[in-house]
Amino acid sequence: MWDVISDKLRQAKKIVFVTGAGISQESGIPTFRGKDGFWRKYDPMKLATIDAFYEDPKLVWEWYEERRKNILDANPNPGHVAIAELEKYKQISVLTQNIDGLHQRAGSSSVYELHGSIITIRCTVCDFNDKITSEFSQIPPLCKCGNMLRPDVVWFGEALPQKVWESAIEEARSCDVMVVVGTSLVVSPANLLPVYARQNGATMVEVNIDQTPMSSSMYLSLRTSAAKALPRLVDILS
């Protein structure tokens, strides 16, 4: 599969991965848009907007707590591990739409979480931000300032964290190879990252079991899973 671009991979100084829910699905975490996705069971407008949160913060928190527990029970799969192992051979950055932290748990050291993290919380009013280290004594949890805490994730209608987004654009613009893994490329503005990479002349690769709107513009588009495909990349570069 990778043989057609093996020379480009070996010559590359920086490889950037753009990852979506598909890579984490192989760890047992459902995607949002797949046939078993979360959005098939719940109305996202009742669970993943700031208006929904203020309307029923207990419901939203209970749903996110269930998701967080499922995520913490999951383990990085061979796709996550392969990306981390590549740091032995190349400069690697990961621009992820996932909020599960599996890239970091696999050992990746340069991860930009475009949509935040389900492992952290922040205050709805003050600047408090921290990791969740224990069960909450009440739902919704309250900050020391007395206001509600919320999951530190990007909800529908909210802007991406500005510093993270600016860094992600710079990573995309400076890579030699971009590998887009397990993302539908329909969510804006993350779907612009391949555009920035192409403008820089990067070699574009897609790993996705389904075709995406950008499949036809890829140098190589593989209809397979990350867990099957990405370890092969390690074999090429090792």
Residue 227 DSSP symbol: H
Is position 224 annotated in a ligand binding site? no
Class assignment of domain 1-28+76-115+160-238? alpha beta
User: For residues 116 and 38, is the Cβ–Cβ distance under 8 A?
Assistant: no
Q: Across residues 163-174, what is the average pLDDT?
A: 98
What's the pLDDT at 232? 96
Mind listing the pLDDT tens digit for each residue in 56-69? 999 999 889 988 99
Q: How far is CA 93 from the centre of its chain?
A: 12
Is position 98 annotated in a ligand binding site? yes
Is position 152 annotated in a ligand binding site? no
Residue 234 has pLDDT above 90, yes or no: yes
Residue 84 has pLDDT above 90, yes or no: yes
Whether pTM > 0.75 for this model: the answer is: yes
The fold adopted by the segment(s) 30-73+116-153 is: SIR2/SIRT2 'Small Domain' (3.30.1600)
Mean pLDDT across the chain: 92
* Number of Cβ within a 10 Å radius of residue 93: 24
Determine which helix (DSSP H) or strand (DSSP E) holds 169, and give its type and residue range. Answer: helix 162-173
Query: Which residues are designated catalytic?
Result: 115
Residue 34 has pLDDT above 60, yes or no: no
Burial 188-224 (b: 16+ CB within 10 A, else e): eebbebbebbbeeebbbbbbbeeebebeeebebbbee
Q: Across residues 105-123, what is the average pLDDT?
A: 97
Domain ranges within the chain, ordered by starting residue: 1-28+76-115+160-238, 30-73+116-153
User: Read out DSSP for 151-168?
Assistant: EEEPPTTPPPPHHHHHHH
Residue 39 has pLDDT above 60, yes or no: no
Alpha carbon distance 130, 120 (integer Å): 6
Does the N-terminal peptide bond of residue 231 adopt cis geometry, omega within 30 degrees of 0?
Answer: no
Is position 210 annotated in a ligand binding site? yes
Token digits of residue 74: 């999951």
